[in-house]
């Protein structure tokens, strides 16, 4: 009996050790923060919305305030909602983080891989105050939160956090049938965002990007290509070749050459999966599934 009890204790301890190890590895592996790249972080409040654009390698940190009455199209849908309603809509779909950041990112033509939900007004002070809270609503893992908290604290202390103002030409007022007035992005948004969200390491690699939309959703390839170009990559062609299909979901990509920063951005920020693919030297192909 004693031998059996001891064996059970050892088995329990081994299981706990493996569980902790797997949890730790999952946290480390799923981290996104990288000082060679940086990040675009959506900050969604109850009354306002903002975007943190952090580029440690260039020593730049920017805060962009977005109008509270701005309406954007829900990612993967034709319906439009006010940005302040995105979280509630996402909760109903059981995908609040994904729907919130993807909808804003696609509307702006900018890749937004992570977000944080704060109470009240969205501001970088609230981000600093809540990043290490156990009750914070965010899809950043703990290691990312620690690293971001450290970087933001240093940026604020060194007064390196600048506020970018979006020109009024980017917005157009619309009136709903019930008389409610909102704002929407105009085509000018694409031109304004072109050099504001650049990832320098990706831009320096000068990869030639081919996007093939095989999802069957009209415009999905164009949406992705806008985000890809804003990030610093060069899209040479957009196709809708349904005969050129690959396995997977969301998006997958293949590289014909060495593009470590481009690969990292597509994997971590765009959430695309890498597959084996051989094309023209210097080319990168992305399938939208």
* Domain ranges within the chain, ordered by starting residue: 39-168, 198-288
Q: Which two tokens stand for residue 12?
A: 């329990």
Q: What is the pLDDT along the chain (289 residues), one digit of tens a residue?
A: 555 666 666 655 554 544 344 344 444 446 899 999 999 999 999 999 999 999 999 989 999 999 989 999 999 888 999 999 999 999 999 999 999 999 999 999 999 999 999 988 999 888 988 998 888 999 999 999 999 999 999 988 888 889 999 999 999 999 988 889 999 999 999 899 988 999 999 999 999 999 999 999 999 999 999 999 999 999 999 999 999 989 888 999 999 999 999 999 999 999 999 999 988 888 999 999 9
Token pair 């919130």 is found at 100
User: Which runs of consecutive H residues, i.e. helices, occur in the chain?
Assistant: 2-29, 86-92, 96-108, 124-130, 142-157, 188-193, 200-205, 220-230, 260-264
Q: Taken in order 273, 274, 275, 280, is the CA torsion positive or negative?
A: positive
Q: If one looks up domain 198-288 in CATH, what number appears?
A: 3.30.70
The span from the CA of 71 to the CA of 181, in Å, is: 10
Q: Give residue 18's pLDDT.
A: 41
Q: Give residue 11's pLDDT.
A: 53
- The arrangement of secondary structure in 39-168, i.e. its CATH architecture, is 2-Layer Sandwich (3.30)
Do domains 39-168 and 198-288 share one topology? The answer is no
Q: Give residue 118's pLDDT.
A: 93
**Angle subtended at Cα 51 by Cα 168 and Cα 29, rounded to the nearest 5 degrees:** 155
The span from the CA of 149 to the CA of 194, in Å, is: 27
Q: Give residue 17's pLDDT.
A: 46
Q: Give residue 26's pLDDT.
A: 43
Neighbours of 18 (CB within 10 A): 10
Whether this prediction's pTM lies above 0.75 is answered by: yes
The span from the CA of 176 to the CA of 112, in Å, is: 28
Query: Is 77:42 a contact under the CB 8 Å cutoff?
Result: no
């Amino acid at each position: 009996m004693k031998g059996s009890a001891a064996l059970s204790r050892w088995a329990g301890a081994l299981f706990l050790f493996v569980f902790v190890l797997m949890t730790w590895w999952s946290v480390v592996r799923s981290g996104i923060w990288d000082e060679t790249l940086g990040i675009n972080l959506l900050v969604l409040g109850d009354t306002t919305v903002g975007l943190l654009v952090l580029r440690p390698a260039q020593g730049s940190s920017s805060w962009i305030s977005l109008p509270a009455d701005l309406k954007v199209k829900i990612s993967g849908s034709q319906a439009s909602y006010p940005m302040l309603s995105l979280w509630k809509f996402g909760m109903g779909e059981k995908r609040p983080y994904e729907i919130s950041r993807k909808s804003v990112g696609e509307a702006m033509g900018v890749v937004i891989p992570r977000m944080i939900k704060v109470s009240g007004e969205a501001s970088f002070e609230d981000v600093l105050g809540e990043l290490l809270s156990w009750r914070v609503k965010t899809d950043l893992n703990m290691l990312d939160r620690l690293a971001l908290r450290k970087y933001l604290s240093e940026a604020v202390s060194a007064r390196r956090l600048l506020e970018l103002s979006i020109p009024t030409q980017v917005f157009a007022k619309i009136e709903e049938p019930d008389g409610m007035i909102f704002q929407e992005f105009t085509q000018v948004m694409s031109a304004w965002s072109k050099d504001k969200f650049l990832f320098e390491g990706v831009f320096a690699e000068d990869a030639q990007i081919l996007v093939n939309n095989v999802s069957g959703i009209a415009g999905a390839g164009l949406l992705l290509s806008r985000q890809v170009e804003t990030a610093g990559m060069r899209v040479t062609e957009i196709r809708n070749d349904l005969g050129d299909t690959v396995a997977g979901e969301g998006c997958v990509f293949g590289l014909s050459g060495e593009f470590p920063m481009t690969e990292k951005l597509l994997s971590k920020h765009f959430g695309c999966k890498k597959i084996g693919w051989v094309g023209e030297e210097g080319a990168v192909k992305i399938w939208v599934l």
